[in-house]
Structure 1
Amino acid sequence: MAADLRQDSRHGTTDPPWRDPKRYYWLMGLIVPAFPFLAWGLVHATGLAVFWWLGVLLLYVVFPLADLLIGKDSANPPDSALAWLEQDRYYRWCIYLYLPLQYAGLVLGCWLLTTGDLALVDRIGLTVTLGGVAGIGINTAHELGHKKESVERRLSKVALAQTMYGHFFIEHNRGHHVRVATPEDPASARLGESFWRFLPRTVSGSLTSAWGLEKARLRRLGTGPWTWRNDILSAWALTAVLFCALTAAFGPGVLPYLLGQAVFGFCLLETVNYTEHYGLLRERTASGRYERCAPRHSWNSDNVATNVFLYHLQRHSDHHANPTRRYQALRHDDDAPELPTGYAGMILLAYVPPLWRRVMDPRVRAHYDGDLTRSNVHPAKRARYGVPA
């Protein structure tokens, strides 16, 4: 790697070599889109139909345990290596390869769902496994969608087609990154708000926000929203073409499973959204505007396993500070509040609101030195937290 050696121009000396210790670990992210192939192979190798549920086993059991067993890595690359890391195209191909595997697995899954001799419970398990691939595929789309190169932005829309969540491309980049950690952001969870209350609010709010943002953009261009230039409509058209093609190939019986895996996929994404900014709030300045987004406005995790599978998404503070920075160059920040484990474990906690509150509410309180008036409290829960209405 070109950044292995760095020259100190002021002293004419060469510092010790620096190598990216995770360089080849990023290929492990391709295990996720291989879920359907692994499930099929394990079922045939063992005769155990439980492996149709491989996505559940890996996402909810293996990955959380791996985070706990492997631990954390808070090391950052040196400043002099960042430019080389950004330019090394190897890391881009680790992302690009997700997409052909994602859609090859989807085709395999549709074939198995419609031609395989599967019981209903097995079909549901395979549908959830496909949904796990699709959900993490939204994270792949997230990485691609923030980049300036047009090919990567197009690939982002392709990755989103499987989950019917093409509007995420608009809302995340132009909505969430502007309003993050404020009551106006549908993707920022509030203190005391359960995941099950957050889910319908963020799904509907993100869709409404995305449509409004795109409508405003097109208005500035002198046209209405019902045009091929509408990025939301073009993204949804990709989903329609994909689902119609798969229905034509495998019959109408595949459509309920396509819808099921899409819903599971975008719900998985929203569980991660729930985790990333829970209870955190940007203060208003004297001008009435919100302060600039800082590391303290995102929950971070340096757990290695989930960071590898999610392309450093858990270094979320640096991502909000530098949205176009590529995943391999994202950095740990000591000022960012730290989650007790990786996103995989936090997803499990989110599903059980009393357990979530028991783990996370004290951390929010400690983050604000006991002053919860500085946090983003759910309006209906202000009395519980002693915050004036």
Structure 2
Amino acid sequence: MPTPSPAGAQRWRDPRRYLWLLSPFFAFAAAWHLVNFWRSGAEFWLWLLPSVMYGVIPTVDALLGPDTRNPPDGSTTALEADNYYRAIVVAFIPFQYAATIIGCALAATAPLSATGWIGLVLTVGGINGVAINTAHELGHKRPRWERWLSRVTLAPVAYGHFYTEHNRGHHLRVATPDDPASARMGESFWAFLPRTMIGSVRSAWHIERGSLAGRGLPAWHWRNEVLQAWAMTLVLFGALAWAFGPKVLLFLAVQAFYGASLLEVVNYIEHYGLLRAQRPDGRREPCNVTHSWNSSHVLSNLFLYQLQRHSDHHAHPGRRYQALRHFAQSPQLPSGYAAMLLLAYVPPLWFRVMDPKVLAHYGGDVSLANLHPPRRSALLARYARGGG
């Protein structure tokens, strides 16, 4: 449970206050590494950020473990009102755009080997994938300018429909079979990826079409937020192709796909196998802190604005990242997202680690989980026999 409010909680000071700067620094480092490659031609600069993402962060998370401390209850109002935390989120965006523009210049002009080109894609696509998390934080907030910046942040990764589908689709249908962003027990990441990518586009379009129809407007109207978001990407990619030549369009497309896949592997992790129970009237129970996998591992949370405290986020979507809480009753991941995504890439290892955790969460009754339809019968038979 969240920490009770002690005396003097209003004066509580966040011990990680300056460590949150790691997230915009990560974007700055991407742009800096690209400039260093431009100057030196040494391709190891293109592999530093991927090495941090896939090597350093998982290792440090494992060494430090989780930090389950919560802000005292009486401190959260002042904590959320502190504009310092908002400025940290916004600071990510100019460095993200700088990395994208420099990456395009390198893709168009630099003599890259095959491994260098892959490193460039991983660096730029990695930053734009992490930027989706920046867009996620901004997109849930009330001020219109923050929500507008959310869509600006999504333009380089060509995933602007996420703004609509996530806020008005995923949060309503999370942990149900109807949600394209909720992975099912027994479903590999590689099966989930096309299902969620296609399903999220369909969902966003259906949501906007219905919203516009309610106002007496056609789907292909300039007020369609999905079309607005895609138009931002077309303008950005068109400007970059004009500046650096049409060959950058292939680079932009590949880095965008990789960046979007980072979002979707995180989606895969966040709700794998979890299911909101169906009530007698056929409706699903309200979403609560048991319907998202939680992680309070330190370094991943500092880079991702505490996205890993996902249980509290779904229970309170408007809560700002610095005030999100750890709940002991939420299902807990064995590590942070940086390590879990590596596990998700290898389905046999993922199933070996996570399926028993889903089963334990439901007290051994696998029928209570969100099961992948092609494997439903096999899972029910396997765990009914007590199989591991």
- Calculate the TM-score normalised by the size of structure 1: 0.94
Confirm or deny: 8 A CA contact 1:36 1:109 kept in the other structure: no
- AA partner of residue 237 (structure 2): F
Structure 1 vs Structure 2: percent identity of aligned residues? 53
Residues 306-350 of structure 1: CA distance to partner in whole angstroms, max 9, x if unpaired?
A: 000000000001000110100000001111000000000000000
- AA partner of residue 377 (structure 1): L
Confirm or deny: 8 A CA contact 1:161 1:236 kept in the other structure: yes
**Matching of residue 153 in structure 1 with residue 147 in structure 2:** yes
How many angstroms does 1:117 deviate by?
2.7
Q: Secondary structure at the residue paired with 1:259?
A: helix
Residues 232-260 of structure 1: CA distance to partner in whole angstroms, max 9, x if unpaired?
A: 00000000000000000001111110111
Q: Which residue of 2 aligns with 1:282?
A: 276
Query: How many pairs were matched up?
Result: 378
In structure 2, how many angstroms separate the alpha carbons of the residues matched to 1:348 and 1:161?
A: 26
- AA partner of residue 218 (structure 2): G
**Matching of residue 334 in structure 1 with residue 332 in structure 2:** no
- AA partner of residue 171 (structure 1): E
Confirm or deny: 8 A CA contact 1:300 1:315 kept in the other structure: yes
Confirm or deny: 8 A CA contact 2:61 2:298 kept in the other structure: yes
Q: Secondary structure at the residue paired with 1:337?
A: coil
Confirm or deny: 8 A CA contact 2:128 2:157 kept in the other structure: yes
Q: Which residue of 2 aligns with 1:221?
A: 215
Q: Which residue of 2 aligns with 1:305?
A: 299
How many angstroms does 1:52 deviate by?
1.1
For structure 1, which segment, 41-50 or 228-237, has the greater mean C-alpha deviation from structure 2 after superposition?
Answer: 41-50
In structure 1, how many angstroms separate the alpha carbons of the residues matched to 2:235 and 2:117?
A: 23
Q: Which residue of 2 aligns with 1:3?
A: none
Confirm or deny: 8 A CA contact 1:72 1:303 kept in the other structure: yes
In structure 2, how many angstroms separate the alpha carbons of the residues matched to 1:368 and 1:79?
A: 30
**Matching of residue 198 in structure 1 with residue 185 in structure 2:** no
Q: Which residue of 1 aligns with 2:286?
A: 292
How many angstroms does 1:39 deviate by?
2.5
- AA partner of residue 120 (structure 2): L
In structure 2, how many angstroms separate the alpha carbons of the residues matched to 1:15 and 1:285?
A: 39
Confirm or deny: 8 A CA contact 1:302 1:332 kept in the other structure: yes
Q: Secondary structure at the residue paired with 1:382?
A: helix
In structure 2, how many angstroms separate the alpha carbons of the residues matched to 1:276 and 1:299?
A: 5
Q: Which residue of 2 aligns with 1:168?
A: 162
Q: Secondary structure at the residue paired with 1:241?
A: helix
Change (3 A) 1:42 1:341: farther
How many angstroms does 1:35 deviate by?
4.0
In structure 2, how many angstroms separate the alpha carbons of the residues matched to 1:369 and 1:149?
A: 42
**Matching of residue 20 in structure 1 with residue 9 in structure 2:** no
In structure 2, how many angstroms separate the alpha carbons of the residues matched to 1:77 and 1:217?
A: 38
Confirm or deny: 8 A CA contact 1:36 1:126 kept in the other structure: no
- AA partner of residue 197 (structure 1): A
Q: Secondary structure at the residue paired with 2:243?
A: helix
- AA partner of residue 351 (structure 1): Y
Q: Which of 78, 95, 101 lines up with 1:107 in the alignment?
A: 101
Q: Which residue of 2 aligns with 1:252?
A: 246
**Matching of residue 60 in structure 1 with residue 54 in structure 2:** yes
Which ranges of structure 1 fall in alignment gaps of 5 or more residues? 1-5, 9-13
Q: Which residue of 2 aligns with 1:143?
A: 137
In structure 1, how many angstroms separate the alpha carbons of the residues matched to 2:161 and 2:313?
A: 20
How many angstroms does 1:116 deviate by?
2.2
Q: Which residue of 1 aligns with 2:124?
A: 130
For structure 1, which segment, 375-384 or 142-151, has the greater mean C-alpha deviation from structure 2 after superposition?
Answer: 375-384
In structure 2, how many angstroms separate the alpha carbons of the residues matched to 1:41 and 1:157?
A: 27
Q: Which residue of 2 aligns with 1:97?
A: 91
Change (3 A) 1:386 1:7: closer
- AA partner of residue 49 (structure 1): E
Residues 133-171 of structure 1: CA distance to partner in whole angstroms, max 9, x if unpaired?
A: 000100000000000100000000000001110000010
Q: Which residue of 2 aligns with 1:242?
A: 236
In structure 2, how many angstroms separate the alpha carbons of the residues matched to 1:148 and 1:21?
A: 27
Q: Secondary structure at the residue paired with 2:247?
A: helix
How many angstroms does 1:33 deviate by?
1.3
Q: Which residue of 1 aligns with 2:385?
A: none
Residues 181-214 of structure 1: CA distance to partner in whole angstroms, max 9, x if unpaired?
A: 0000000000000000000000001110110000
In structure 2, how many angstroms separate the alpha carbons of the residues matched to 1:290 and 1:81?
A: 33
Confirm or deny: 8 A CA contact 1:73 1:304 kept in the other structure: yes
Change (3 A) 1:245 1:289: same
**Matching of residue 364 in structure 1 with residue 358 in structure 2:** yes
- AA partner of residue 252 (structure 1): P
In structure 2, how many angstroms separate the alpha carbons of the residues matched to 1:258 and 1:35?
A: 20
- AA partner of residue 152 (structure 1): E
In structure 2, how many angstroms separate the alpha carbons of the residues matched to 1:36 and 1:278?
A: 31
How many angstroms does 1:50 deviate by?
2.8
Q: Which residue of 2 aligns with 1:350?
A: 344
Q: Which residue of 2 aligns with 1:11?
A: none
How many angstroms does 1:100 deviate by?
0.6
- AA partner of residue 243 (structure 1): F
Residues 104-141 of structure 1: CA distance to partner in whole angstroms, max 9, x if unpaired?
A: 11111111222223223212211221000000100000
CA RMSD of aligned residues (A): 1.8
Q: Secondary structure at the residue paired with 1:29?
A: helix
